[in-house]
Amino acid sequence: MILHVNFLPGERAGAAALVGEVVAALESAPADRRMLARLRVHLDWIQYRQSFREAVAVRRAVDCRGAAMPLVELAIDVRQATRAGLAPALAAALEREPGGVALESFGPLRASVIWGFNTLFWQHVAAWEAVSGRPFEHVLPSGRSDANHPQAIADAVADFWTLLRDLEMRNQLPPEIFVLEIGVGTGARAAQWLDRFRELDAERGRGFYPRLRFLLSDYSSRILDRAAQAVRGHREVSSFIALDALNPFKTLAFLRYKLLHIHLTNVYDNLPTDEMVRKDGRFFAVETRAYLPAALAAAIAEEFELPAEELARTIGKFLGVGPDYFPDRRRGVEFWQAVWRAVRLEERLVELEDLAAARLPSGLDPAHIEECVRAAPAEVRFHLSTGAVESFLNTVPLLHPRGFLQVQDIFVTDMDEYRQGFRGPGKLDGSVVNWINGALLREVGARAGYDVHFAPFHYRPDSRTKILYTTQRD
């Protein structure tokens, strides 16, 4: 048996004592002793209040032809596991499949039904907030978004102003100054940015503000409506555009090479992703299957007076319609929230013959992966950050030759960080959150002609946010 402690030593009190409990529980578990000898045990601390993991879960492996392999992983969430419940949970997990109500078949994480829930949340975020009684930003670790930090915004405006002044001195400043915000949220950051830019323009008298064309974009029309109210004092320079963050270029191709600044906050962490594992010199794809544990499914069916055998079908229909699937809209949101709290992901590892056989996202090839893992630990599980890579590659063609992309998010910038803590997926209210493989984005950016840099977000103590920014290669 190999034990992996996937968090920093001393970070969580009581975790060391739990290791002994795990070993004792495994020794008494009614399982094949040969299987226990091959077992890989992973201890994680899942920092999210809600996640897709049971306290104890088993990951089995299949080869490239679908046949079972000896490899078995046991994943234990130290935050959920209790000493009293550990032994029976281990025994149950080793003896049987998760069971419950399956919402899909095994497949790539990026294709999971959880992304349907994620889309539904942003389409009906106001309805969710009305029932939960709190704005979605209040579930963030600090209770508010780092995007709205006043000093961070002031510094961002100052940096952009320096670029504009330099372009003006070189007679290279375009007549119209295009800026794009992707994923505007409440619009609070855009409003603060515009306020500060206008103040700076008035102080320095350069006349940049009237030339500004600030584009606020999101795929949710309700969020754009909210943002429009936030920036109502800047209507003469603001435009609102519905677009898919995965492919901004599709909507904004007419602005190719014209955008001087593009900004995103907490967008990449909300885009579909896949995961991969390197183990024993081989690569495995992580496949998932969403399900509801049997007890929770039965409770939901009873509470909402639904036939238990029709629950999966009902959820599928609900995702297509939204809260209005129920005659009482509030009741529909309550059903949605109950299902979302209950959703779990069963995982399995699928061996790849080689990296060429992997279903890599557009813009990635085996050489990217090989370069990225060259300095990684021998055994490592990591994100392919499918959506983030796609968004990045479909965004940078919009940049002016002197323009830059800036992304505030939770990035893994060194592959070794994957051994030091849980990196998702987690749940934030009704949405999905994942860390982004910044090391992979750095490689992708280089091949696209951009240097990708990362800086800490030093405006809030203990913030896990990092800032990605690009510079075009000569």
Q: What is the pLDDT of residues 286-340, one digit of tens each?
A: 999 999 999 999 999 999 999 999 999 999 999 999 999 999 999 999 999 999 9
Rg, C-alpha atoms of the chain: 24
Label residue 145 by pLDDT band (50, 70, 90).
confident
Q: Are 80 and 14 in contact (CB under 8 A)?
A: no
**C-alpha span between 384 and 361 (Å, rounded):** 8
Q: What is the pLDDT of residue 453?
A: 96
Closest by Cα among 412, 109, 433 to 286? 109
Q: Are 287 and 107 in contact (CB under 8 A)?
A: yes
- Answer yes or no: is pLDDT of 139 > 70: no
Q: Are 42 and 423 in contact (CB under 8 A)?
A: no
Which whole number is the average pLDDT over 329-352?
97
Which whole number is the average pLDDT over 161-176?
96
Q: Are 110 and 358 in contact (CB under 8 A)?
A: no
Q: Are 185 and 223 in contact (CB under 8 A)?
A: yes
For 301-314, the three-class secondary structure string (H helix, E strand, C coil) is HHHCCCCHHHHHHH
DSSP letter, residue 10: T
0.75 cut: is pTM over it?
Answer: yes
165 backbone dihedrals φ, ψ, rounded to 5°: -65, -40
| Dihedral over Cα of 468, 219, 386, 285: its sign | positive
**C-alpha span between 214 and 189 (Å, rounded):** 12
Q: Are 181 and 190 in contact (CB under 8 A)?
A: yes
Q: What is the pLDDT of residue 347?
A: 96
Q: What is the pLDDT of residue 142?
A: 58
Omega of the bond prior to 425 within 30 degrees of 0, cis?
Answer: yes
Q: Give 409-431 pLDDT, tens digit per residue.
A: 999 999 999 988 889 899 988 99
Q: Are 390 and 248 in contact (CB under 8 A)?
A: no
Closest by Cα among 70, 65, 68, 60 to 98? 60
| Dihedral over Cα of 140, 144, 146, 147: its sign | positive
- Strand, coil or helix: 267: coil
Angle (deg, nearest 10), helices 438-447 and 386-393: 30
Q: What is the pLDDT of residue 72?
A: 87
Q: What is the pLDDT of residue 143?
A: 58
- Strand, coil or helix: 301: helix
Label residue 21 by pLDDT band (50, 70, 90).
confident
| Residue with more model confidence, 461 or 470 | 470
Closest by Cα among 364, 361, 325, 375 to 443? 364
Amino acid letter, 80: Q
Domains of the chain: 1-96 (3.30.2010)
In the block, which residue shows the tokens 């965004």? 395
Please report, in angstroms and rounded to a whole number, the separation of the first and last CA atoms in the chain.
51
**C-alpha span between 3 and 15 (Å, rounded):** 13
Q: Which of 105-119, 130-144, 291-305 has the lowest mean pLDDT?
A: 130-144
- Strand, coil or helix: 12: coil
DSSP code per residue over 333-361 = HHHHHHHHHH-EEEEEEEE-SSGGGS-PP
Beta strand pairing call for 177-182 and 212-218: parallel
DSSP letter, residue 397: G
**C-alpha span between 42 and 78 (Å, rounded):** 10
Q: Are 431 and 121 in contact (CB under 8 A)?
A: yes
Angle (deg, nearest 10), helices 311-321 and 294-303: 70
Q: Are 262 and 399 in contact (CB under 8 A)?
A: yes
Residues, the chain, total? 474
